[in-house]
Structure 1
Amino acid sequence: MWKEAAGEADGEAGFGEPAGADAVAGAERRLGERLPAALVSLLGECDGIAGHDGTDTVWPLDRIVEQNLCFRSDPDFARLYMPFDALLFFGDNGGGDQFAFVRTPEREDIFVWEHEDDSRRWVARDLRDYLGRSLAGGGADWYR
């Protein structure tokens, strides 16, 4: 389902090997929260999706965990940016902007965090919509 959706938008998208249920459970323990159901489903089919020029449209599970833990605990980030606790980052544009689910309140919508100005704004109604928009073209700044 997810590979097909990504492939329809970009026939050259690359896919990681599926992440197992144990790996997902371990990631959720480390993060202290459940991952969105759509993301769990995608990771069970392919552990990450590479889009245009190798851009990590959806990160592998290990990177999802590491990036989110870093953003939530780095004291420099706490001084520079608004809190990241309500977001769950899962991909990027290759230039510093990152894509996230909003976890508080829990939503399926996808938002972009633009690192230059710390803005956060809506870009897609759900993960499927995000894949279609981000992989279909328009380059790294498809959401602008």
Structure 2
Amino acid sequence: MSLIIWSTHQIIKDNLFYRNFEGYRDINMPFDNLFFFSDAGNGDLFCYAILKNGNIEKNDIYVWNHENDSRTWVAASLKHFIEGWITGKIDI
């Protein structure tokens, strides 16, 4: 199992990568509206939704599926995400 929450360095590095990597632009929806903070260990990433004004206004947590580019709700808050991930209630 990977770290539950990435380090600040990893958050910055991965968010910049996914937003700027040219190879993803033709095959994925934009990542500008996602704030990645964790991974499932299989290539899927957990994130918050970012509004056009740059704010994160909802506590909902989503998972981005790297195989089909879907974005699916997984938890109502970071607390619920951590509890669900540790207990196995969230399974990707």
Q: TM-score, normalised by structure 1?
A: 0.58
5+ long unaligned stretches in structure 2 = none
Q: How much is the aligned-residue C-alpha RMSD, in angstroms?
A: 1.5
Superposed displacement of residue 94, structure 1: 0.4
Q: 1:104 aligns with which of 51, 59, 66?
A: 51
Superposed displacement of residue 77, structure 1: 1.1
Question: What is aligned with 1:4?
Answer: none
For residues 97 and 108 of structure 1, the distance between their equivalents in structure 2, rounded to whole angstroms, comes to 19
Question: What is aligned with 1:127?
Answer: 78
Q: TM-score, normalised by structure 2?
A: 0.88
For residues 119 and 136 of structure 1, the distance between their equivalents in structure 2, rounded to whole angstroms, comes to 24
Give the aligned length: 88
For residues 41 and 60 of structure 2, the distance between their equivalents in structure 1, rounded to whole angstroms, comes to 21
Percent of aligned pairs with the same amino acid:
36
Question: What is aligned with 1:32?
Answer: none
Q: Which AA in structure 2 matches 1:142?
A: D
Where does structure 1 differ by over 2 angstroms across 4 or more consecutive aligned residues?
none
The answer to whether structure 1 residue 87 and structure 2 residue 38 are counterparts is no
Q: Which structure has the larger Rg over C-alpha atoms?
A: 1
Within 5 Å, which residues of 2 pair with 1:7-26? Answer: none
